[in-house]
Chains A and B, each alone.
Chain A
Amino acid sequence: MSSVLPAPSKPASSAPASVPLLARPEVQRVFYPALVAIVLLGLWQGLVVYFKVPVFLVPSPLRVAQVLVSDAPLLFGALYTTLKITLFAFVTATVLGVLVAFAFVQSRAVETAFFPYAVLLQVTPVVAIAPLIIIWVKNPTASLVICATLVALFPIIANTTLGLRSINPGLQAYFRMNRASRLQTLVRLRIPSALPYFFGGLRISSGLALIGAVVAEFVAGTGGTGTGLAYQILQAGYQLNIPRMFAALVLITVTGVLLFALMAVLSKWALGSWHESEQSND
């Protein structure tokens, strides 16, 4: 806010109140992207109507919105299923990832022995192993959660490990000189130092958990739980119900954005007071 000049006629002391609404950065942050969205949607609507594009190729935004409302019970039920798998996987990945990272920093030997397998986990495409997991694990929900967890796990492990190791050498020497125990060093030094990296990992993994859940549902297809958003997209594709496909897609995207935003808020709340990454550039 301090970067915005007050209107010349007003005294400087009343600057915050006198700044025009649209000149405020926090309003701009919402307004500008919204403007782009309105223009693009308008253009899309206009083009579809003008060229009379058939609805089974590209539905207009209004049509998608109509379907979103008319098919709401079906779509939001599917969203609930996908979201449940995503959140289960995200929480599992976070807990597992943090535990693995703790093990890694306690001993170089453990890290050296197991890190390559963590990488293996990361580079193996989930689409390739999902069929196996779906065959092996009887419970369809559990198999989908495992797939999504595998996708979301690595960023948490890698970031948290990096964070737990990124401690100020001076502080480390200070702790050593004061004969701090391993536990004291972990709790008082390593964990706080790791938080910025950990939250970076959470942001990446929240999106990946959703992607993992959707991909696993696709692979499971009609053999899976048969209620997730990916299943709706598949079904809609078979039936050439393109508006519903778009509506499901919109729900997945919005969910992803909301998850990311939630992580950003969490990060700001935890680090806002002290870490450089969360300071406003005033």
Chain B
Amino acid sequence: MSPAHALAATPAVEVLSVEKTYPNGTQALLPVNLTVAEGEFITLLGPSGCGKSTLLKMVAGLLAPSDGRLLLWRKPVDEVESSGHRLSFVFQEATLMPWARVQANVRLPLDLAGVPRAEADARVRDALAMVGLAKFADNLPRELSGGMQMRVSIARGLVTQPTLLLMDEPFGALDEITRNRLDSDLLQLWQGKKLTVIFVTHSIHEAVYLSNRVVVMAARPGRIVEQVAIDEPYPRTADFRVSTAFSHYARQLQDCLLRASGSDVEGALA
């Protein structure tokens, strides 16, 4: 069965009644509860405005919750390093430094942490090899395609050897073929490691293909409406994308999203 079941004992992420209300009164996220097991790959799926990125940014400590508690390995977010765990965040855009070569971009988090140069360079080489960009270490970002830039961004996310990887619609701006490639590469990277991933997307197909579990969210106000386990073994091949099981899950998620948006309309009318 899926790795999540084997490792389910320790929760990596615990979201306890976390909510976000902006000072102007906008409710970005109603109180939500979510537990992510160590080693699990979960996806937050929902339309724009459902608070999925907000939730992810709160897990990363980039945004403070208005209320509720957020624990990573049973510790508050800002103390996570003391538990020997590291988190990495991959943005929607590659957000690379345009003036720096690929290797310097990947080395950035190590440079900021003061890792000695020789060790940092070795880790950068490994990370670039992992994403298949070993030959492009000396290129500038502008010389790479969008998909390759995203790979650099993922290498930068992996170079710190994180135990929790947070990805905010990382492949949203790429074409479908490139996105599928990167999705399956990402699964390979994840399977080789003891890595917990929270992945934000608005693509049903991407959610089914990648995850142990899909957390379906709805908008206005942002909330979790359902959680769907994808009980399919890894490694997942390209055949999985065209299997009946796949379309079954896709159908189920689509129904969830439709029901949620339906109640949204009713809410607006009431």
Measured CB to CB, the residues of A under 8 A from B are 168, 170-171, 173-180, 184, 188-189, 192, 195, 273-275
The residues of B that contact A274 with a CB separation of less than 8 Å are 98-99, 140, 142
- B89:A174 contact, CB within 8 angstroms: yes
> What is the minimal beta-carbon distance from A10 to any residue of chain B, in angstroms?
30
CA distance A273 to B100 in the complex (A): 10
* B interface, size bucket: 10 to 19
B91's partner among A174, A175, A178, A180 (CB-CB below 8 A) is A174
The residues of B that contact A275 with a CB separation of less than 8 Å are 98-99
1/0 contact string of B89-125 vs chain A (CB within 8 Å): 1010101011110000000110111000000000000
Task: Work out how many contacts link A and B, with CB atoms closer than 8 A.
Answer: 42
Q: Can you list 8 A-B contacts (CB < 8 A)?
A: A173-B62, A174-B89, A176-B62, A177-B60, A179-B112, A188-B108, A192-B99, A192-B100
> What is the minimal beta-carbon distance from A241 to any residue of chain B, in angstroms?
52
The residues of B that contact A273 with a CB separation of less than 8 Å are 99, 140
- A192:B112 contact, CB within 8 angstroms: no
A178's partner among B95, B113, B140 (CB-CB below 8 A) is B113
- A174:B113 contact, CB within 8 angstroms: no
Tell me the B101-155 residues at the A interface (CB within 8 Å). 108-109, 111-113, 140, 142
The residues of A that contact B68 with a CB separation of less than 8 Å are none
* B61 in contact (CB, < 8 A): yes
- Nearest A residue to B113 by beta-carbon distance? A178
> What is the minimal beta-carbon distance from B266 to any residue of chain A, in angstroms?
37
- B112:A175 contact, CB within 8 angstroms: yes
Measured CB to CB, the residues of B under 8 A from A are 60-62, 89, 91, 93, 95, 97-100, 108-109, 111-113, 140, 142
The residues of A that contact B100 with a CB separation of less than 8 Å are 192
- B95:A168 contact, CB within 8 angstroms: yes
The residues of B that contact A180 with a CB separation of less than 8 Å are 112
> What is the minimal beta-carbon distance from A108 to any residue of chain B, in angstroms?
19
The residues of A that contact B99 with a CB separation of less than 8 Å are 192, 195, 273-275
CA distance A189 to B98 in the complex (A): 11
- B91:A170 contact, CB within 8 angstroms: yes
B112's partner among A170, A173, A178 (CB-CB below 8 A) is A178
CA distance A237 to B100 in the complex (A): 55
Known A-B contacts A184-B112, A273-B140, A274-B142; the reply to A170 vs B62 at CB < 8 A is no
- A188:B111 contact, CB within 8 angstroms: yes
Q: A170-B95, A175-B112, A274-B98 given; name 11 further pairs at CB < 8 Å.
A: A170-B91, A171-B95, A174-B95, A177-B62, A177-B89, A178-B113, A179-B112, A180-B112, A192-B97, A192-B99, A192-B100
- A178:B109 contact, CB within 8 angstroms: yes
The residues of B that contact A189 with a CB separation of less than 8 Å are 97
The residues of A that contact B89 with a CB separation of less than 8 Å are 174, 177
- Nearest A residue to B92 by beta-carbon distance? A170
The residues of A that contact B91 with a CB separation of less than 8 Å are 170, 173-174
- Nearest B residue to A181 by beta-carbon distance? B112
- Nearest B residue to A176 by beta-carbon distance? B62
> What is the minimal beta-carbon distance from A153 to any residue of chain B, in angstroms?
26
The residues of B that contact A178 with a CB separation of less than 8 Å are 108-109, 112-113
CA distance A33 to B169 in the complex (A): 51
The 3 closest A-B pairs by CB, nearest first: A170-B95, A274-B99, A178-B112
> What is the minimal beta-carbon distance from B123 to any residue of chain A, in angstroms?
15
The residues of A that contact B109 with a CB separation of less than 8 Å are 178
The residues of B that contact A173 with a CB separation of less than 8 Å are 62, 91
Known A-B contacts A176-B62, A177-B61, A188-B108; the reply to A171 vs B97 at CB < 8 A is yes
- Nearest B residue to A172 by beta-carbon distance? B95
- B98:A170 contact, CB within 8 angstroms: no
CA distance A178 to B95 in the complex (A): 14
CA distance A57 to B40 in the complex (A): 88
- Nearest B residue to A174 by beta-carbon distance? B95
> What is the minimal beta-carbon distance from B21 to any residue of chain A, in angstroms?
21
The residues of B that contact A192 with a CB separation of less than 8 Å are 97, 99-100
> What is the minimal beta-carbon distance from A189 to any residue of chain B, in angstroms?
7
CA distance A195 to B98 in the complex (A): 12
- Among B112, B113, B140, find the residue whose CB has the most chain A CB atoms closer than 10 A: B112
The residues of B that contact A168 with a CB separation of less than 8 Å are 95
- Among A173, A174, A192, A273, find the residue whose CB has the most chain B CB atoms closer than 10 A: A174
